[in-house]
Chain A
Amino acid sequence: MVKRAGTVRTSADRGQAHTLEAFMSALLLVGSIAFALQVTAVTPLTASTSSQHIENQQIGMTKGVLDAAIHNESLRLTLLYWNESDGSFAGSSSTGYYATGGPPTAFGAMLNRTFGDQGIAFNVNVFYVTTAGDVRREQIVHTGTPSEHAVSVSRTITLYDDEVFSVSGASTTLGGSASYFAPDAGAGEHLYNVVRVEVVLWRM
């Protein structure tokens, strides 16, 4: 009788043993997954082939935009889109650069058309040579600080003394300008300056 009662009690005690075991093993499984996720942290700087693909596309498209702008001279005309009396790019904000998108030129329209509606922000910088031989930077478009994903593409443009500013009605030439951002690095020569136009792009 005692033995029988003991058997019954043991069975009743073991009633939930398997369920508990299952919960413990489930906890172990899920816990190990959670731990594995925690130790392999994926940060914005983690190399990923998917983001590399997007950066490759941005580089490929920017090269095309710059090549097209050189081909139809709109990049040169953007550099010459200068307001002589204000000493800044024509139509730019009081800070001296365009802050809301591309400049109001064919090159700017091309940038806006290609990247404006695609959730991509861009800066355009110009690097020029001073008379002392240093390289300085002038911002044409500044829409913010680039992120870690930013890509940049550059093209070189040679400017000459006799080029007239592209603002309508302007007759001032580069050689006769007193306020242009880049100095006449080739004084006494036909050459005015050699500038490098850099477009920096990043996803917003």
Chain B
Amino acid sequence: MRETKSRLDRGQLNFDLLIGVTVFVLALAFVFSAVSGMVTPYVHGQEHTLVADRVATLLADGSFATDQSSIVNATCAFGFFNASYLTDNGTGCRIGFPANSSSVHERVAIDRRYSVNVSLVRDTDGDGKRDVLCTDGEVLTDCPGDTRLTAGPTPPTNRGSVVSARRVVVLDGLDVVLEVRVW
């Protein structure tokens, strides 16, 4: 008789403990998820912004640069996207790059764990959106041309962590935007 009651008592105690532990674990899970969500913007993307900015600066002020600020060397710029336009494999540019390397990572000297896309864009049809430009190796041409001035894979559109860096440069007498996207 006493044992039965005692078991009944303990049964209620366990049930209470179960609710207590559940509530506590739920609160703990909420706190962890909320805090990790709060610091996410500061943890991820910080290095990506730096990588994107460095690549944009390297290309605009280094590899494509001339003596005049923001005026780019068309041969080096076109050769970056198609090595056949270069006779010296990119070593004659202000900052040389291995133009015949198929990997855009090697051409901009960044680690392979970052995905990078480099494009020269300009709003050519007046719709307010920038379009990728094309070239025949000498001047900018209408797309589709010989070479589309984009290198690297297309950035994913279904995730929000693609970081971009942009520079305005003068190429072939036009103001074009050098866009570097890293994700």
Residues of B within 8 A of A56 (CB): 53, 165
Nearest chain A CB to B123 CB, angstrom units? 6
Residues of B within 8 A of A20 (CB): 20
Contacts of A100 in B (CB 8 A): none
Interface flags for B10-52 (1: CB within 8 Å of A; 0: not) read 0011001101111110111011001100100110011001000
Query: Is there an interface contact between A50 and B45, defined as CB atoms closer than 8 Å?
Result: yes
Residue A57 at the chain B interface, CB threshold 8 Å: yes
- B32 CB to closest chain A CB (Å) equals 10
Majority-rule SS of A interface residues: helix
Q: Counting CB contacts under 8 A, is B170 at the interface?
A: yes
> Do the beta carbons of A15 and B16 come within 8 Å of each other?
yes
Contact B27 A25 (CB under 8 A): yes
**Contact string against B for A residues 1-36, beta-carbon threshold 8 Å, 1 for contact and 0 otherwise:** 000100110011011111111110110011001000
A25 to chain B: which residues have CB within 8 Å? 24, 27
Contact: A67 with B71, CB < 8 Å? yes
What does DSSP make chain B's interface, helix, strand, loop or mixed? helix
Count of inter-chain pairs, beta carbons less than 8 A = 120
Given contacts A33-B31, A64-B167, A72-B173, contact A22 B56 (CB under 8 A): no
B53 engages A19 (CB within 8 Å): no
Contact B128 A117 (CB under 8 A): yes
Question: Interface size (A, Cβ < 8 Å)?
Answer: 41
Closest B residue, CB atoms, query A21: B20
Q: From residue B74, how far is it (CB to closest CB) to chain A in Å?
A: 13
With A8-B5, A68-B70 in contact, is A61–B27 under 8 Å at CB? no
Q: Is the CB of A114 within 8 A of B175?
A: yes
Q: In the bound complex, how far is the Cα of B123 from the Cα of A156, in angstroms?
A: 28
Q: Are A64 and B175 in contact (CB under 8 A)?
A: yes
Q: Could you say which of B5, B49, B69, B164 contacts A50, with CB atoms under 8 Å apart?
A: B49
Task: Report if A63 contacts B (CB, 8 A).
Answer: yes
Residues of A within 8 A of B22 (CB): 22
A149 within 8 A of B: no
Asked if A113 is an interface residue, CB under 8 A from chain B, the answer is: yes
Name the residue in A14, A57, A67, A68 with the highest tally of chain B Cβ atoms < 10 Å from its Cβ.
Answer: A68
Q: Which B residues contact A (CB, under 8 angstroms)?
A: 2, 5, 9, 12-13, 16-17, 19-24, 26-28, 30-31, 34-35, 38, 41-42, 45-46, 49, 53, 56-57, 60, 68-71, 123, 128-129, 163-170, 173, 175, 177
Residues in A lying within 8 Å of B, measured CB to CB: 4, 7-8, 11-12, 14-23, 25-26, 29-30, 33, 37, 49-50, 53, 56-57, 60-65, 67-68, 71-72, 110, 113-114, 116-117
Question: Contacts A26-B26, A64-B170 given; 15 further ones with Cβ under 8 A?
Answer: A7-B9, A12-B12, A19-B20, A21-B20, A23-B23, A33-B35, A49-B42, A50-B46, A53-B165, A57-B165, A63-B70, A64-B60, A68-B168, A68-B170, A113-B175
